[in-house]
Amino acid sequence: MSTEGLTHHISSRYNEDLERLRASVLEMGGMVERQLQQAVGGLTEPDEQVIVRVAQEERRVNQLERLIDEDCSRILATRAPTASDLRLIITILKTITDLERIGDEGEKVAAIAARLANRERPNDRYRELRYLGELVIGMVHDTMDVFARLDTNLALSVLRRDRIVDEEYEAIHRQNITFMMEDPRLIRRALDVMWVVRALERIGDHAKNICEYAIYLVRGKDVRHTKLEEIEKELRAPKS
Amino acid sequence: METRVRSVQSEPQSVGFAPASDIDSGVIPIRASGRGLQLAVDESRRSAALSAPVKARVESLNFFYGENKALKGLNMEIREKQVTALIGPSGCGKSTFLRCFNRMHDLTPATRYEGRIMLLPENMDLIAPIVDAIEVRMRIGMVFQKPNPFPKSIFENVAYGLRIRGVRSQIRIQEEVEKALRGAALWDEVKDRLADSALSLSGGQQQRLCIARALATNPEILLFDEPTSALDPIATARIEELIAALREQVTVLIVTHNMQQAARVSDYTAFMYLGEIIEFDETSRIFTNPGQKATEDYITGRYG
């Protein structure tokens, strides 16, 4: 399935509706990605105001989610979409839920970043958080690319990276437990770090979900709750 | 053009429909014990569809209007007590195909059948010249686009087929008429006015009367040729309800231009184009993830 296949409806208004929807989802994805960059940036560069800007963006994301929802309902009601059109609408409806939650998680990160801003920072200035944050931002960025270009190979790459995120999460988790046991004065900071890592890990999961929806859109096959190896196999096989 | 027909074989292994094997492959191992969770409302209906015996088998069917080959080597299996929908653009041959099943073409000069349509289990070839067309039409009823009741009373419309069959007993005829009218979900509306002219009924009622008339002779297959295209949405919904109920007792084959109708009422859908069956599969699959680009283009309303 190619994206240009989506532009040949007999009804040009239907085409326009679907195109506009796709564009809105990409716009929403762009906002969420910006939000994340600001939030993660706030972790490394002390910035008390980061939460204000991120929260502003978050309100716009929520607004867009509602608009897209409304458009989808209207198309379902008036066009009764089928086949790839139907899969597109379903994919969009689910995608924006995950995008909105990525936004929520980003806001959490920003709130903690603002709090950490006027507290003493560790020597490595949260190096591991920056690494994980950039990994996750890259995933979100590529996820929107997957949606824009319906690129299932890129989707696979995001799914693979989610495994790394999970491993990182485990590692940082263990590290912070060690810190807390060694020096109880660090508990407060370690807990904040844990909240951030948890949020980033969740963002990875949401990106993974969206990539799975995109695979459904392209292949017509539901690959949620499926082992990565099986998804790889499915994508190598010709479309059934 | 390559024809994709998933359900042609009647051997047990033909249960291997793609979506069913998804469940087999353990992707959704939700069924814990006993009947377990029902994943979808239609799940039971679907397993019935997968195991239903074949009622009619179309074998290499060609049909000619004079020199014009309107149907080109069709192969298909119609499953018993299932609803099979035929969709496709105008002129694709779906009505021509439907009409073969009860020999409606016999009246058109210079037409010719090739191949076979076997009615199971007795293996009667519906289009063989030696088979009596009247006999075929007794067993395979048809409902047309426009309601076409006889200009007789409501009662006589339904009794007509029985009388032709030689049923003489008044009591028996009365019983059968009531049964057929009930079967067509019309009884309660007409029971007090059975002697009125059928033409006094509304369009939707007339169409249900035609269904009752077809049901009265206990057909094995009912053919519907665009049965609701002349009806308003409420009458349409009633007919669709009726078709859903009818599949408890009879095999249904329906031609419709209304894609959503095919999606709503049928278990299987065949997409036809230029006299060929392009794709034949479970309806749920045709409408969510068709295998052929031509099918996709047609049902989503794109240029071919």
d(CA A69, CA A88): 13
The residue-averaged pLDDT of A147-151 equals 95
How high is the pLDDT of residue B48?
A: 58
To the nearest whole Å, the CA of B7 is away from the closest chain A CA by: 15
pLDDT single digits (tens) A41-87: 998 888 888 999 999 999 999 999 999 999 999 999 988 999 999 99
Q: For B190-286, where are the E strands, in sequence order?
A: 221-225, 251-255, 268-273, 276-282
Q: What is the pLDDT along chain B (304 residues), one digit of tens a residue?
A: 445 554 444 333 333 333 433 334 433 333 333 333 333 334 455 555 567 899 999 999 999 999 999 999 999 999 999 999 999 999 999 999 999 999 999 989 999 999 999 999 889 999 999 999 988 998 999 999 999 999 999 999 999 989 988 889 999 999 999 999 998 989 999 999 999 999 999 999 999 999 999 999 889 999 999 999 888 898 899 899 999 889 889 999 999 998 889 999 999 999 999 999 999 999 999 999 999 999 999 999 886 5
Query: If DSSP codes are grouped into helix, strand and coil, which group holds residue B147?
Result: coil
Subunit contact B289:A80, Cβ cutoff 8 A = no
Kindly list the residues from chain B whose CB atom is less than 8 angstroms away from the CB atom of residue A14.
301
pTM of the entire structure?
0.79
- Residue in this structure with the two tokens 């810190």, named with its chain if needed: A179
Subunit contact A9:B301, Cβ cutoff 8 A = yes
Torsion sign across C-alpha atoms A182, A185, A190, A195 = positive
ipTM for the assembly: 0.75
3-state helix, strand, coil in chain A (%, to 5): 85, 0, 15
Domain boundaries in chain A? Answer: 3-236
To the nearest whole Å, the CA of A32 is away from the closest chain B CA by: 30
Subunit contact A82:B300, Cβ cutoff 8 A = yes
Half-sphere exposure of A226 (CA within 13 A, CB side): 26
Going by C-alpha positions, the residue among B192, B211, B188, B190 that lies closest to residue B201 is B190
Looking at 3.20.20.80, 2.130.10.10, 3.40.50.300, 3.30.230.10, the CATH number of the domain B4-26+39-300 comes to 3.40.50.300
Looking at 3.30.70.3040, 1.20.58.220, 2.70.98.10, 3.40.50.300, the CATH number of the domain A3-236 comes to 1.20.58.220
To the nearest whole Å, the CA of A116 is away from the closest chain B CA by: 44
Structure tokens at B267: 């278990």
Domain boundaries in chain B? Answer: 4-26+39-300
